[in-house]
Structure 1
């Protein structure tokens, strides 16, 4: 009877957990037993592992084989354990020395002929392995570009099982990842392309400077989508840790671009209004996978034709907007994905959506019902609302400020906010809790008169007042002031309380 240990990684959302795989060979009737809460795909690995070992010119033990995955209470899913299972079996058969498997993470799906196929989530798996103190990892050769994004662990790429065994058993060289490449080639669209719409442009600038959410309402052809697409160009580039966090989400979703480039451009995700709930917030069978709200992490989620979305899907955004993450419960477990994005909603003023309001054929009740599909609790979390009007003269084209000019103001405002809130762990005004704004950084009573009036009149909720305060601080940062005054608070309410219809 022989015993060997190998290591792989199980993913729960974007959090990885190193799994110890123990192989016990001998002591009973021939058979292959896999224990430790494996899912259906992992159960099927028994046949893949056996065929891959035999077709790699290695002997399969005609004995009882027990493979135990620890911790036993953690659900293991997927085919990424194949390589580790095969190496554990061969280690128990003394084909591989145990020293070669120690402090080594093995990831990859095995084809029947022994080829190593890529799997999802290599990046978060390697991050977890590094945090657990693992020293090296063997991954499919086709995953090296993704693996290159993780520093602090020696990564080797194997094309097949035979090459991996030669590396582990005899020290034969495998391919190593190249240097990390930062993707700076993508240039965002220019804000100067948008004709007119000064009010909406100002709202977009405020939203970018403070991390706020925004609603754009206007007839077709007024530039709602154009403004949303250019919003990303106003945001600062992602830092190394932020870019890695976004890449981890994309890796789990199978959306990480090839080539090994680490994108520092904030994402722009624009799902269609016919998307399902699973596509929007995440889902699927087994452990849920990330949806659009997580793919937009640290960037922009644009929802065009917002009233056409189902009420349940719109209201599902409320928790991510408040908490910056989405939690998905399924029979096999609950996972949490990051979802700290800026929401941009766009809507027509009515169902018929004419180019000019004078051509509208919708009764007033229909118009109210149409925009009423955006629930009060959702709109209460949207800090800025801007009305867009039909363009009346093309001569205004090219007269608006370009992205570089506006972005410079946005960066200056964000720097002021980061200096003020940095000691508390916040970087933008939108992240600051309301109690902090009302106590430690309370404004003079004359400055908050517009808020008190709105609360007394029932036109503003307590949450809405806090969000208006955050917008007022952003306006102060854009204007180079130390704190908001009554005029800036009134301006914040102007953008919050404008009626779309």
Structure 2
């Protein structure tokens, strides 16, 4: 007897539909699984056999052929276990439940328990887009089902529950706690930092235009504190952005049972400098998203940037330019989204005091040590970082009224105002922020006055800027103009933008 059941797997960060075809015919008892399965899928036969027997069913002792279509896609993971078991039970006449227009996903244990899997949100999104009206999934993944509306969900804990299915809409699964944001209120605020108004102003510009930023300075001046407070002035994610971020975290297996609502706070990732290339960019035999993808629509903070491997840092070039990462393997290519803000910090030298010596502290590094330290940051990488700033010790240790003016609440209001201007300006374009402006659009959306052009040309020759650096100054000036509420770029905006390229002589 022949039957087929619909299921899904994850490829990259997207759900892909798989049809599980089961044919049972007379012959010597044996099982053949075809359709390019990996070892985890092949092993599912043993899990399914034990799960069926321990759930009160009989495992068919005949010739069984299981095909996973389409055969051109390599099947990886354990999400097909439940669909394979359901197909065997239907083909052997032990399950009369109509599984048409249902998508089944889940891993089986030997006793028939249905275990949770990774990537359920991506598979649910595929099911909704493909017209499936119902979905059967592990009870352990029910919290993810609450995030996506418009689906009838049946969460089960055991294979035997396939005999009698009870569906609920994903909306009805929401509890009162789901209707209230479970995101903790951030206790961080820029007013925690004494002084550093110039750096706070740079953070404002970076957040308003989604510009990459790096801050250099001696130890203990507040570089890390500044960057960790950057998310406090960023706008909340839209529903579409939040769903995309949660889908990525679902695939990476980083959703907890408490994550039952869409989180609107932009992600903030701060990996250690010992991270590998696969950990930062993504990869592996079955490519998984790395930190640049986990930072999608958020901030990737690299503290002590020169301490990272140069090989790792150079891999940032593609995602910084293309806002995506493409990982190529022999059988397929996978593209992960990676639209993030890069925030970084560094010292001016290995000891940290070059150019910032005091009576108590002085630089002990030789010229060769400083050059070796700085050479870890290549010119092409620094060229892709819009705002480059040097900061020193604060002049006073007492909070003043200027510190209150640079609170996270005050700066976030300015960021929201500037972003609203940009979204209105670019409403018909495929981009939304000034940092994303292509060179061809600069003359249209960021024209510069004649006196500003003369100043830019002087800076171009004096600082030895590249054309990329030249264009980024114009984009920063456009953001400053938006913050100030000006329709056009003025000379002071260009002058301020130029001073944020201080590390071009690094």
TM (norm. structure 1) is 0.94
Q: Tell me the residue number matched to 2:71.
A: 72
Q: Is residue 414 from structure 1 mapped to residue 412 from structure 2 by the alignment?
A: no
Q: Which residue of 1 aligns with 2:256?
A: 257
**Secondary structure of 2:456's match?**
helix
What does 1:98-247 align with in structure 2 at a 5 Å threshold?
A: 100-167=98-165, 177-178=173-174, 180-181=178-179, 182-187=181-186, 189-247=188-246
CA-CA distance at 1:189 after TM superposition: 1.3
Structure 1 residues 172 and 163, CA, compared in 2 at 3 Å: closer, same or farther?
farther
Query: Any conservation in 2 of the 1:217–1:500 contact (CA below 8 Å)?
Result: no
Q: Which moved more, 1:450-459 or 1:322-331?
A: 450-459
- 1:273 maps to what in 2? 273
Cα deviation, residue 398, structure 1: 7.5
Give the distance between the partners of 2:414 and 2:427, measured in 1 at CA.
19
Structure 1 position 366 matched with structure 2 position 369: yes
Superposed displacement of residue 376, structure 1: 0.7
2:400, 2:251 → 1: CA distance? 43
Q: 2: distance between equivalents of 1:448 and 1:94? A: 79
Superposed displacement of residue 365, structure 1: 3.5
C-alpha offsets along residues 129-156 of structure 1, whole Å, 9 cap, x if unaligned?
A: 1111111111110100011111122111
The aligned counterpart of 2:18 is 19
Determine the C-alpha separation between the residues in 1 that align with 2:312 and 2:334.
Answer: 19
Match of 1:395 in 2: 398
Please point out which of 361, 367, 383 is paired with 2:386: 383
In the TM superposition, what is the alpha-carbon distance from 1:399 to its structure 2 partner?
4.8
Distance 1:172 1:214 in 2: 49
Any unmatched runs of 5+ in structure 2? none
Q: How many residues align?
A: 495
**2:89, 2:54 → 1: CA distance?**
14
Residue 62 (str. 1) matches residue 61 (str. 2): yes
Distance 1:36 1:424 in 2: 42
User: 2 CA distance for matches of 1:451 and 1:27?
Assistant: 81
2-structure distance, mates of 1:135, 1:174: 10
Residue 498 of structure 2: aligned partner: 493
> Which position in structure 1 is the counterpart of 2:87?
88
8 Å contact kept, 1:166–1:172 = no
Check whether the contact 1:188–1:233 (CA below 8 A) recurs between aligned residues: no
What are the superposed Cα offsets for residues 466-489 of structure 1, whole Å, 9 maximum, x if unpaired?
111110100001111011122211
Answer yes or no: is 1:292 the counterpart of 2:297.
no
TM-superposed deviation, 1:178: 2.1
Gaps of at least 5 residues in structure 1 are none
Moved more, 325-334 or 138-147: 325-334
Residue aligned with 1:393, SS: coil
Change in Cα spacing, 1:461 to 1:432, as seen in structure 2 (3 Å) is: same
Distance 1:177 1:276 in 2: 40
Distance 1:391 1:456, change over 3 A: closer
Aligned to 2:66, what secondary structure does the other structure show?
Answer: strand
Q: Which shows bigger deviation, 394-403 or 37-46?
A: 394-403
Distance 2:402 2:446 in 1: 39
For 1:34-89, what per-residue CA distance to the aligned partner results, in whole angstroms no more than 9, with x for missing partners? 11111111111000001000000101100011111111101111001000000011
Range moving further from structure 2, 331-340 or 112-121: 331-340
Q: What is the distance in 1 between the residues matched to 2:293 and 2:388?
A: 24
Contact 1:34–1:43 (CA under 8 A) maintained in structure 2? yes
